[in-house]
Amino acid sequence: MKTSLKQNTILAVCLLYALLFIYAATSKLLDFSNFRVQIAQSPLLSAYAGVIAPAVIGIEYGIVFLLWKPALRNLGLYMALGLMSAFTVYIYLILNYSDFIPCSCGGILEKMGWAEHLIFNIVFVLLALTALLLSRPPGRKQLPGTVLFPLLSILTGTILVVVLFLSSEHIIKHQNNFTRRFLQHPVLEDKTYALKFNSYYFAGSHEGTIYLGNYTAPNILTIIDSSFSLAQSRTIRLDIPRQPFRSPKIKVDYPYFFVYDGSVPAIFKGLLDTMEAKKTAMDTYFSQLEIITPDYFTFKTLSTREKTNILGTVALKEVPNVSLHYDLLEKQVNGIFDTDGLLLHDSGTDELIYGYFYRNEFLVMDRNLKLIRRLHTIDTVSRAQVKVSQLPDGTYKMGAPPLEVNKDMTVYNGVLLIHSNLMGKYESREIWDNASVVDIYATDEQRYLGSFFINDRGKNKMTQMLLTDRYFYALSGTELLRYRLRNAIGVFHRGKPKNQQSRQNN
């Protein structure tokens, strides 16, 4: 090839790279906040969004400067080759090994599909290789550096991306510093049922049928069939009808239902077929109750001796067998508000979960309340931020509104969903103003699996949620919403990629 043609080819490649990087870096810089958010949502680089976002822009501008200077042009080409190789490997990993496929490009490249983008990058890698081969000195065809240096550039870019990918995945899932990764539509709205009131709560579910209690009509159980086309309201009859209830609730554990109020205390048990319930021998005060079997419960209560919340179990016999566990809930401030949380029973694993409201921790226990593990949510509030003042009568009240970390929780088959109340790094205020954010955790180890959001229904936000084997349910205003799980719940649990489904949504 003639010298002039070689030089023109090299110059053309340099100009193409310069135009590409000027355009790409400038578009990222002009919308830097959004670019950093997109990097934070990458399934490969989330943990390093704060570093990678400005670094990529700086490197791209730096390469343009090197390519502009004839004496530094070869160095610029080596760096361009390494960076483009890194981008290429990144896309390959996204397409084949990621949990989902994000969108992280700006400008005209945003219009490309990921496969087209991969081809585009490969073409530019070949262009850089061509320019470097043409730039070798004449008469020195066996120069080792002619092949070695380009290979080192490609290898450096490849290793860098792989290392970032592996370390980022470990940090995000096991050592997260409050960087959320929003999954691509893990739940899809399926059906909606219009309720007459906004005072309903989830009482249970069975094979697609949903059971709702109503705070304003505590003796009515509303049953919505699996097709979401028919609802019936059934009246509960107690064998001792007049009870000094303060806030009775209903819980369904098919084929049984339970009516209880821990302030009395009282638990009534009956069969759904008859809707008639008899009072049990329960005589322990409690604030929360979870059904393990029809005759074995776990509960939360306030210890007058320790002046703190504690957990307990009760086996209903002629004389109830009550066991109290004082060492599970750890006191941080006064033991009442700082240990407050939600007790849940995972019917899929037969484990108990206790999630704190005001700190980033939840407990996993067996059915006898033996602690299995203490796990943490991804936010950084490890100590409950509550201010408590004591009244003259010895009771306590909140001295100021507390910082609520976790608003609501639901669990099924080793997957815990938490309705979060705190905004993470690089997140959009618009999302938080118009949706409820739900974080997903495994309960078998310290592992964050991702997040999703449920859009508000007009001015109404999600107030309660329920997870089953096939659906995610939410109550919002006067509506019951059903969302289909895009993947089986076991996939959330194991965190396996579902690339085909992901590609169809990108």
pLDDT at 364 over 50: yes
Q: Residues 399-411: what's their mean pLDDT?
A: 90
- The pLDDT assigned to 407 comes to 95
Give the percent of the chain with pLDDT over 90. Answer: 60
Per-residue pLDDT reduced to its tens digit, 120-165: 999 999 999 999 888 876 655 555 656 788 889 999 999 998 888 8
Residue 361 pLDDT exceeds 60: yes
Pairing of strands 387-390, 462-467: unpaired
Give percent above pLDDT 70 in the chain.
Answer: 89
Indicate the range of 119-128, 138-147, 175-184, 262-271 predicted with least confidence.
138-147
Determine the pLDDT at residue 498.
Answer: 37
User: Minimal CA–CA distance to 179: which of 40, 377, 42, 359?
Assistant: 40
> CA angle at residue 348 from 347 to 351, to 5 degrees?
65
Stronger pLDDT, 92 or 213, i.e. the higher one: 213
More confident residue, 56 or 502: 56
Q: What is the mean pLDDT of residues 258-282?
A: 94
- Chain CA centroid to CA 124, Å: 37
Arithmetic mean of pLDDT, 309-326: 91
- pLDDT, tens digit, 9 for 90 and up, residues 220-250: 999 999 999 889 999 999 999 888 899 999 9
Q: Is the model's pLDDT at 506 over the cut of 50?
A: no
The answer to which of 178-192, 198-212, 371-385 has the lowest mean pLDDT is: 178-192
Name which of 189, 465, 505 is nearest 342 in CA terms: 465
Q: What is the pTM of this model?
A: 0.81
Are 448 and 176 spatial neighbours (Cβ–Cβ below 8 Å)? yes
pLDDT at 474: 98
Question: So what's the pLDDT on residue 209?
Answer: 96
Highest-confidence segment of 167-181, 282-296, 381-395: 282-296
pLDDT of 501 reads 36
At CB < 8 A and 24+ separation, what contacts does 490-498 make? Answer: 490/413, 492/186, 492/415, 492/440, 492/449, 492/450, 493/413, 493/414, 493/415, 493/442, 493/444, 493/449, 495/99, 495/173, 495/442, 495/447, 495/449, 496/99, 497/97, 497/98, 497/99, 497/100, 498/99, 498/100
Look at residue 107 in the predicted model and tell me its pLDDT. 45
DSSP assignment of 120-176: HHHHHHHHHHHHHHHTSPTT-TT-HHHHHHHHHHHHHHHHHHHHHHHHHHHHHHHS-
pLDDT at 115: 83
Average pLDDT of the chain is 87
- Comparing 306-320, 321-335, 359-373, 487-501, which segment has the lowest mean pLDDT? 487-501
Q: Which domains does the chain have, with CATH numbers?
A: 3-174 (1.20.1440), 187-504 (2.120.10.30)
Q: Is the pLDDT of residue 363 over 80?
A: yes
36-59 residue pLDDT tens = 877 877 767 777 878 888 999 999
Whether 497 shows a pLDDT value over 90: the answer reads no
Does 505 have pLDDT greater than 90?
Answer: no
- Rounded Cα gap, residues 54 and 424, in angstroms: 19
Task: Kindly tell me if the per-residue pLDDT of 494 is higher than 50.
Answer: no
Q: What is the mean pLDDT of residues 457-473?
A: 94
